[in-house]
């Protein structure tokens, strides 16, 4: 007996018994697992809620049915999709869910497309009528593009959902800035710059050259020292301006007054000529004066 019990113990040691799996509770009531259904449990008909997939509209439901079965959106099996769509609507009605009118309209559209595909076409117009599914396919493709764009936007980081702004109140601090020390050398350099700028705005006063009538008389006699006739205009220097012309004219009048110049004109409005008087001319002039007297 001892040998048999030892052999039995060795077999138990070699092949351990796996632990028994615990039964999953049906529910948890007040923190305690409920393993068996009570015999007197009564559940009212409207006490349970069934959570179904939420769709944003009939197109969203259609797109879900198509993508769930990996169907080609360009070649929709209308009969099968229509059956699944109607079954889903019936399920929602059985669950007493309020349906939007758009779901019923889409069911009618699917039924129409299905009937048009089932009806035989006259032999004379085959190939002319377009595919009844074309408009539905176009709407589904457009809706899918917008839905994809909306999902991309929703995946972007959003404030107050993916991240939150952080702020901290910092007390006001009074900071006293000490001005840097200024050396005398820097002041002198700044003064030098100011003086340079002041020189740019300095005024250059130009004074007119003083013109003397007596000096201009000497200049006119020097110009006419060859005792030849010269044009009246040649005695003036235009570059001297109005003042120089007036001074020259006064000098000519003074010389004429002192009988040092001869001013002649051959005809009326003709050129005026000027020359210095010679000694002979002065003697003739004195003789004429004496004869007249």
- 3-state SS, the chain, equals CHHHHHHHHHHHHHCCCCCCCCCCCCEEECCEEECCCCCCCCCCCCCCCCCCCCCCCHHHHHHHHHHHCCCCCCCCCHHHHHHHHHHHHHHHHHCCCCCCHHHHHHHHHHHHHHHHHHCCCCHHHCCCCCCCCHHHHHHHHHHHHHHHHHHHHHHCCCECCCECCCCCCCCCCCCCCCCCCCCHHHHHHHHHHHHHHHHHCCCCCCCCCCCCHHHHHHHHHHHCCCCCCEEHHHHCCHHHHHHHHHHHHHHHHHHHHCCCEEEEECCCCCCEEEEECCHHHHHHHHHHHHHHC
- According to the model, what pLDDT value does residue 254 have? 92
- According to the model, what pLDDT value does residue 69 have? 78
pLDDT in tens, 14-36: 445 544 545 566 667 777 877 77
Q: What domains are there in the chain, each with its CATH number? A: 58-119+130-155 (no CATH), 213-292 (1.10.10.580)
pLDDT in tens, 187-242: 788 878 877 877 777 676 776 667 889 999 999 999 998 888 888 888 888 888 88
Which residue numbers in the chain have pLDDT < 50? 1-8, 10-15, 18-19, 21, 47-52
- According to the model, what pLDDT value does residue 34 have? 72
- According to the model, what pLDDT value does residue 163 have? 84
């Amino acid at each position: 007996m001892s040998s048999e019990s030892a052999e039995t113990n060795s077999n138990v040691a070699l092949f351990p018994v796996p632990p028994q799996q615990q039964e999953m509770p049906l529910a948890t009531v007040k923190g305690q697992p409920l393993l068996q259904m009570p015999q007197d449990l009564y559940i009212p008909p409207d006490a349970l809620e069934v959570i179904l997939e939420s769709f944003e509209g009939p197109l969203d439901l259609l797109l879900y049915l198509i993508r769930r079965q990996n169907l080609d959106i360009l070649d929709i099996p209308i009969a099968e999709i229509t059956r699944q769509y109607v079954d889903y609507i019936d399920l929602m009605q059985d669950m007493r869910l309020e349906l939007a009118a758009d779901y019923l309209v889409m069911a009618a559209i699917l039924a129409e497309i299905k009937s048009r595909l089932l009806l035989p076409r006259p032999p004379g117009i085959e190939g002319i009528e377009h595919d009844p599914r074309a408009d539905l396919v176009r709407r589904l493709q457009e809706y899918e593009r917008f839905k994809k764009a909306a999902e991309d936007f929703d995946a972007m980081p959003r404030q107050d959902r993916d991240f939150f702004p952080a702020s901290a109140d910092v007390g006001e601090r009074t900071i006293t800035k000490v001005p840097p020390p200024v050396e005398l050398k820097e002041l002198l350099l700044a003064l030098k710059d100011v003086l340079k700028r002041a020189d740019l705005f300095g005024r250059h006063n130009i004074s007119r050259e003083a013109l003397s009538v007596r000096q201009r008389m000497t200049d006119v006699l020097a110009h006419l020292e060859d005792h030849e006739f010269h044009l009246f205009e040649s005695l003036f220097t235009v570059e001297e301006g109005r003042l120089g012309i007036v001074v020259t004219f006064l000098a000519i009048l003074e010389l004429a007054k002192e009988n040092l110049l001869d001013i002649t004109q051959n005809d009326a409005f003709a050129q005026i000529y000027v020359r210095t008087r010679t000694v002979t001319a002065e003697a003739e002039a004195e003789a004429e004066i004496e004869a007249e007297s």
